[in-house]
C-alpha cells in the first residue's frame, strides 16, 4: 500500500465488462492494532429542528479523514480512512483490519474510499471496498471484495477496475449501493482533467455502473448489446457522484452529484439515460484542458435534468433515506451530507419535486463525508477531518 500524506483533501426518492483475476493480498501476520475510541460522548444534548429534537453523540474519534462506514451484525461497523486504513468499530474500540491491496495510492481525493457489506454478510462475510489503484504515475477507480475473518480481510479479489487510468487526485466517485434485486451500483467520477470523457460510452469515467455481486455484467444492463459501449454502464454524463442511496421498497436510485462552481445536483437514475455533463450543467465550469471551457447549455433535449439543484452549493457527499420510525417526522426524507457547506440538508420530496429543505448540524462537526441510516434506525455521520470521528444522531428525550 502506497500512501502519500503530502496532499490535503480537496475541497427522493421513491424507487463487469471484465472480471479481472487478482492475486489474493497477503494477510499481515501481525495482530491488528487496537486503539481506544474513547467511548460514546454526548456532543450536543439537545438540538431543536423543525420537527424533531435530536441529540448528537460521538462514538469514535482520532480517525484521519474517514470516508465511509458500513454496518455489520452485532452493532459493529467498518470505517474506511481515505489515507489507506480500514477499521472495525466494536464495543467502543477501533481495531485496524489488515489485508488491503498494496497498489493503493492515497493522494488528493483518492485513496481508500467506500466500504459496503454484502446483504448476506452474516453468511458469507463479504465486504466490498473501492480505492484508487496505482498504475505507474496514474490511478483508476477500482472495486475489490474480501471476507472479514475475525480481525483480518482475507480472500481479497479485484472485481472491477475502470478501463482507463488518469493522473491521480480528483473525481473518483466510488459510492456503492445494493439494489433490492441484489445488484451492486458503483459511481465513477469524470476524473477531473478531461470532462468530455463522461459522454463516451466506451469510457467508464463519469458513469454509474450496475454489476452482479461478483463484478460481472447483468444481461439486462442497457448497453450490453452495443459494441461501442461498456456493458457495466447504467447511466452516464455524470461529473462526480458522491451520494448514493436506493429506496428498499421501490428500487429507485437517487444520487447527489458535485457540480463545478454551483450546479450540485440531486438525481433519480433511469437505465441508459444521459445526465448531460459536461454538455449541460447548472453551474459554471472551471477552466479545463484543451478546447473545453464551459458547458454549452443549462438543459438540452435528450439529456436528463436534475430533480433539484442545491443552492447555495452543498459539495455533496453521503446520502441517506429515512425509512425507520426513530424520527417519524423525517420518514421518507433524504439526508444529504455536505463537505464544504459543513451541513446535512434534509430534503422533502413528493412526485419528484422538492417541497421543503432544512439544514442540520450546520458547522457542528465540520465537513460531512458520509451519512447512513443504521439498522437500529439512528442516523450515523462521518466528518472528513484530519481528526475525524463517527457520530450518531438520536432523538432527544
The catalytic residues are 171
Four-CA torsion 244, 379, 10, 386, nearest 10 degrees:
-150
The set of residues, in sequence order, having a beta carbon less than 8 Å from that of 263 and lying 6+ positions away, is: 281, 282, 283, 284, 309
The whole-angstrom separation of Cα 177 and Cα 184 is 6
Q: Where are the alpha helices (DSSP H) in the chain?
A: 121-124
Query: Could you give the CA distance from residue 358 to residue 354 in angstroms, rounded to a whole number?
Result: 11
Contact status, residue 271 vs residue 317, Cβ threshold 8 Å:
no
User: Is there a contact between 117 and 78 (Cβ–Cβ < 8 Å)?
Assistant: yes
Residue 92 CB partners (closer than 8 Å, separation 6+): 36, 37, 38, 39, 40, 59, 60
H/E segment holding residue 243:
strand 241-246
Q: Which three cell numbers stand for residue 43?
A: 456532543
Amino acid at each position: 500500500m502506497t500512501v502519500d500524506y503530502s496532499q490535503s483533501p480537496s475541497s427522493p426518492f421513491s424507487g463487469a465488462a471484465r472480471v479481472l483475476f487478482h492475486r489474493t493480498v497477503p494477510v499481515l501476520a501481525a495482530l491488528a492494532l487496537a486503539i481506544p475510541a474513547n467511548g460514546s460522548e454526548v456532543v450536543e444534548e439537545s438540538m431543536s429542528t423543525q420537527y424533531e429534537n435530536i441529540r448528537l453523540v460521538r462514538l469514535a474519534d482520532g480517525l484521519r479523514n474517514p470516508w465511509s462506514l458500513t454496518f455489520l451484525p452485532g452493532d459493529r461497523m467498518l470505517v474506511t480512512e481515505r489515507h489507506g486504513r480500514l477499521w472495525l468499530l466494536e464495543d467502543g474500540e477501533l481495531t485496524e483490519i489488515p489485508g488491503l491491496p498494496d497498489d493503493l495510492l492515497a493522494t488528493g481525493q483518492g485513496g481508500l474510499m467506500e466500504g459496503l457489506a454484502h446483504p448476506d454478510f452474516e453468511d458469507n462475510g463479504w465486504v466490498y471496498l473501492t480505492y484508487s489503484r496505482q498504475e505507474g504515475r496514474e490511478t483508476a477507480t477500482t472495486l475489490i471484495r474480501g471476507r472479514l475473518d475475525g480481525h483480518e480481510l482475507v480472500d481479497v479479489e479485484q472485481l472491477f477496475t475502470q478501463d482507463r487510468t488518469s493522473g491521480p487526485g480528483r473525481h473518483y466517485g466510488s459510492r456503492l449501493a445494493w439494489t433490492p434485486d441484489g445488484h451492486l451500483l458503483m459511481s465513477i467520477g469524470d476524473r477531473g482533467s478531461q470532462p468530455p470523457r463522461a459522454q463516451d460510452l466506451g469510457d467508464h469515467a463519469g458513469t454509474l455502473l450496475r454489476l452482479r455481486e461478483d463484478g460481472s455484467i447483468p444481461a439486462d444492463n442497457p448497453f450490453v448489446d452495443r459494441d461501442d459501449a461498456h456493458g457495466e454502464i447504467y447511466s452516464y454524463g455524470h461529473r462526480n457522484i458522491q451520494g448514493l442511496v436506493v429506496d428498499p421498497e421501490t428500487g429507485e436510485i437517487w444520487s447527489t452529484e458535485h457540480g463545478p462552481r454551483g450546479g450540485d445536483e440531486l438525481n433519480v437514475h433511469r437505465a441508459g439515460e444521459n445526465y448531460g455533463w459536461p454538455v449541460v450543467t447548472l453551474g459554471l465550469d472551471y477552466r479545463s484542458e484543451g478546447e473545453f471551457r464551459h458547458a454549452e447549455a443549462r438543459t438540452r433535449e435528450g439529456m436528463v435534468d436534475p430533480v433539484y439543484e442545491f443552492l447555495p452549493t452543498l459539495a455533496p457527499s453521503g446520502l441517506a433515506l429515512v425509512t425507520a420510525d426513530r424520527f417519524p417526522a423525517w420518514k421518507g426524507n433524504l439526508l444529504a451530507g455536505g463537505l464544504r457547506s459543513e451541513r446535512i440538508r434534509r430534503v422533502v420530496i413528493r412526485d419528484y419535486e422538492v417541497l421543503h429543505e432544512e439544514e442540520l448540524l450546520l458547522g457542528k462537526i465540520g465537513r460531512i463525508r458520509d451519512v447512513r441510516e443504521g439498522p437500529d434506525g439512528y442516523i450515523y455521520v462521518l466528518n472528513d477531518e484530519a481528526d475525524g470521528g463517527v457520530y450518531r444522531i438520536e432523538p432527544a428525550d
